[in-house]
Structure 1
Amino acid sequence: MKNPVGIHADALRKADGDALPGDNCVAAEKDIDEAYRGITRRLMPLLFICFVFNYIDRINIGYAQLQMKPDLGFTDAIYGIGASIFYVGYLLFEIPSNLAMQRIGARKTLLRIMLLWGLTSASTMFIRTPLEFYVVRFLLGVFEAGFFPGIVLYLTFWYPAERRARIVAIFMSAGVTAGIVAGPLSGWIIQHLNGLYGLKGWQWMYVLQGLPSSLLGIIAYCYLTDRPEQAKWLSKRQRELVASHLEPARQREVASARGALQAAWRIPSLYVLAYLYFALNCGIYTLSFWLPSMIHGWGVSSIQAVGFYSLIPYSIGMLVMFWLARRSDARGDHRRNVAAAACVGALGLAATTFTPGSLWTSMALISAGAAGLISALPVFWAVATSMLPQDAAPAGIATITMASGLAGAICPSLIGVLKTYAGSTAIGLYFVAALLLSGGIVMWRHRHLSVRASPAAVLE
Structure 2
Amino acid sequence: MAQFFTRVSFASDNEAAAYNRAAWKLIPFLLILYIISFLDRVNVGFAKLQMSADIGLSDAVFGLGAGIFFIGYAACEIPSNLLLQRFGARIWISRILVVWGIISVCFMFVTTPAQFLSLRFLLGIAEAGFYPGIVLYLTYWFPGKLRSQVCALFFVGIPIAGLIGAPLSGFIMKQMAGVSGFAGWQWLFLLEGAPAVIGGIVTFFYLSNGPKDAKWLTASERNVIMPALEAEDATHRAMGHGHRLVDALLSGKVWLLAITNFTLLGGIYGISFWMPQIVKDLGVHDVFINGLVTSIPFAVACVAMIVVGRSSDRMRERKWHIILSAAVGALGLVGGASLTATPALALASLSLALGGALASITVLWVLPSALLTGAANAGGLALMATIGNLGGYVAPYVVGLAKEATGRTDFGLYLMAVAMVLGALLVQLLPRNATIDEAEHAPVLKEGSVVGAT
Alignment of 1:146-225 (within 5 A): 146-225=129-208
- For 1:214 and 1:455, the matched residues in 2 are separated by 39
- For 1:135 and 1:77, the matched residues in 2 are separated by 15
The answer to which of 243-252 and 232-241 deviates more is 243-252
Q: Which residue of 2 aligns with 1:25?
A: none
Q: Which residue of 2 aligns with 1:318?
A: 302
Matched pairs, number:
430
- For 2:439 and 2:180, the matched residues in 1 are separated by 56
- For 1:347 and 1:98, the matched residues in 2 are separated by 35
Q: Which residue of 2 aligns with 1:23?
A: none
Q: Which residue of 2 aligns with 1:229?
A: 212
Deviation at 1:444, TM superposition (A): 2.5
Q: Does 1:288 align with 2:269?
A: no
- For 1:369 and 1:53, the matched residues in 2 are separated by 23
Q: Does 1:384 align with 2:368?
A: yes
The answer to which of 276-285 and 403-412 deviates more is 403-412
The answer to which of 217-226 and 227-236 deviates more is 227-236
Structural RMSD (CA): 2.0
- For 2:79 and 2:196, the matched residues in 1 are separated by 22
Find the residue that maps to 1:194 and give its secondary structure.
Answer: coil
- For 1:102 and 1:157, the matched residues in 2 are separated by 11
Quick one: which of 44, 47, 50 aligns to 2:33?
50
Checking the alignment, whether the CA contact within 8 Å between 2:331 and 2:417 is kept in structure 1 is yes
Deviation at 1:159, TM superposition (A): 1.2
- For 2:438 and 2:302, the matched residues in 1 are separated by 25
Alignment of 1:8-19 (within 5 A): none
- For 1:134 and 1:455, the matched residues in 2 are separated by 47
- For 1:327 and 1:229, the matched residues in 2 are separated by 31
Checking the alignment, whether the CA contact within 8 Å between 2:10 and 2:16 is kept in structure 1 is no
Deviation at 1:194, TM superposition (A): 0.4
Structure 2-normalised TM-score? 0.91
Deviation at 1:445, TM superposition (A): 3.7
Q: Which residue of 2 aligns with 1:451?
A: 436
Q: Residues 434 and 128 from structure 1, CA distance in 2 versus in 1: closer, same or farther, beyond 3 angstroms?
A: same
Checking the alignment, whether the CA contact within 8 Å between 1:332 and 1:454 is kept in structure 2 is no
Quick one: which of 382, 399, 403 aligns to 2:387?
403
Q: Which residue of 2 aligns with 1:373?
A: 357
Deviation at 1:429, TM superposition (A): 1.5
Alignment of 1:237-256 (within 5 A): 237-251=220-234
User: Which AA in structure 2 matches 1:358?
Assistant: T
- For 1:157 and 1:320, the matched residues in 2 are separated by 26
Structure 1-normalised TM-score? 0.89
Checking the alignment, whether the CA contact within 8 Å between 1:328 and 1:379 is kept in structure 2 is yes
Find the residue that maps to 1:301 and give its secondary structure.
Answer: coil
Deviation at 1:417, TM superposition (A): 1.6
Q: Which residue of 2 aligns with 1:139?
A: 122
Q: Which residue of 1 aligns with 2:323?
A: 339
Alignment of 1:263-282 (within 5 A): 263-282=247-266
Checking the alignment, whether the CA contact within 8 Å between 1:335 and 1:383 is kept in structure 2 is no
- For 1:2 and 1:327, the matched residues in 2 are separated by 15
- For 1:283 and 1:453, the matched residues in 2 are separated by 31
Deviation at 1:133, TM superposition (A): 0.4
Checking the alignment, whether the CA contact within 8 Å between 1:88 and 1:409 is kept in structure 2 is yes
Checking the alignment, whether the CA contact within 8 Å between 2:89 and 2:209 is kept in structure 1 is yes
Q: Which residue of 1 aligns with 2:57?
A: 74
Q: Which residue of 1 aligns with 2:447?
A: none
User: Which AA in structure 1 matches 2:284?
Assistant: V
Q: Which residue of 1 aligns with 2:452?
A: none
Deviation at 1:250, TM superposition (A): 4.6
Deviation at 1:4, TM superposition (A): 4.3
Q: Which residue of 2 aligns with 1:348?
A: 332
Q: Does 1:102 align with 2:65?
A: no
Deviation at 1:195, TM superposition (A): 0.5
Q: Residues 424 and 49 from structure 1, CA distance in 2 versus in 1: closer, same or farther, beyond 3 angstroms?
A: same
User: Which AA in structure 1 matches 2:298?
Assistant: Y
* Cα-to-partner distance string for 1:221-250 (whole Å, 9 max, x where unaligned): 101100211111112232233221111345
- For 1:374 and 1:153, the matched residues in 2 are separated by 19
Q: Does 1:435 align with 2:427?
A: no
- For 2:233 and 2:435, the matched residues in 1 are separated by 21
Checking the alignment, whether the CA contact within 8 Å between 1:124 and 1:206 is kept in structure 2 is yes
* Cα-to-partner distance string for 1:280-320 (whole Å, 9 max, x where unaligned): 10100111111110110011111111100011111111112
The answer to which of 30-39 and 290-299 deviates more is 30-39
Q: Which runs of 5+ in 2 are unaligned?
A: 1-5, 442-454
Deviation at 1:274, TM superposition (A): 0.9
Checking the alignment, whether the CA contact within 8 Å between 1:260 and 1:394 is kept in structure 2 is no
- For 1:434 and 1:135, the matched residues in 2 are separated by 31
Checking the alignment, whether the CA contact within 8 Å between 2:245 and 2:375 is kept in structure 1 is no
Checking the alignment, whether the CA contact within 8 Å between 2:232 and 2:440 is kept in structure 1 is no
Q: Which runs of 5+ in 1 are unaligned?
A: 7-28
- For 2:303 and 2:243, the matched residues in 1 are separated by 40
Q: Which residue of 2 aligns with 1:297?
A: 281
- For 2:298 and 2:7, the matched residues in 1 are separated by 34
Q: Residues 327 and 33 from structure 1, CA distance in 2 versus in 1: closer, same or farther, beyond 3 angstroms?
A: closer
Checking the alignment, whether the CA contact within 8 Å between 1:249 and 1:390 is kept in structure 2 is no
Find the residue that maps to 1:341 and give its secondary structure.
Answer: helix
Quick one: which of 54, 58, 69 aligns to 1:86?
69
Deviation at 1:441, TM superposition (A): 1.6
The answer to which of 446-455 and 89-98 deviates more is 446-455
Deviation at 1:171, TM superposition (A): 0.6
- For 1:210 and 1:2, the matched residues in 2 are separated by 39
Deviation at 1:259, TM superposition (A): 7.0
Deviation at 1:160, TM superposition (A): 1.4
- For 2:281 and 2:94, the matched residues in 1 are separated by 40
Deviation at 1:446, TM superposition (A): 2.4
- For 2:357 and 2:254, the matched residues in 1 are separated by 20
- For 2:82 and 2:132, the matched residues in 1 are separated by 10
Checking the alignment, whether the CA contact within 8 Å between 2:66 and 2:396 is kept in structure 1 is yes
Q: Residues 242 and 125 from structure 1, CA distance in 2 versus in 1: closer, same or farther, beyond 3 angstroms?
A: same
- For 2:172 and 2:7, the matched residues in 1 are separated by 48
Checking the alignment, whether the CA contact within 8 Å between 1:180 and 1:315 is kept in structure 2 is yes
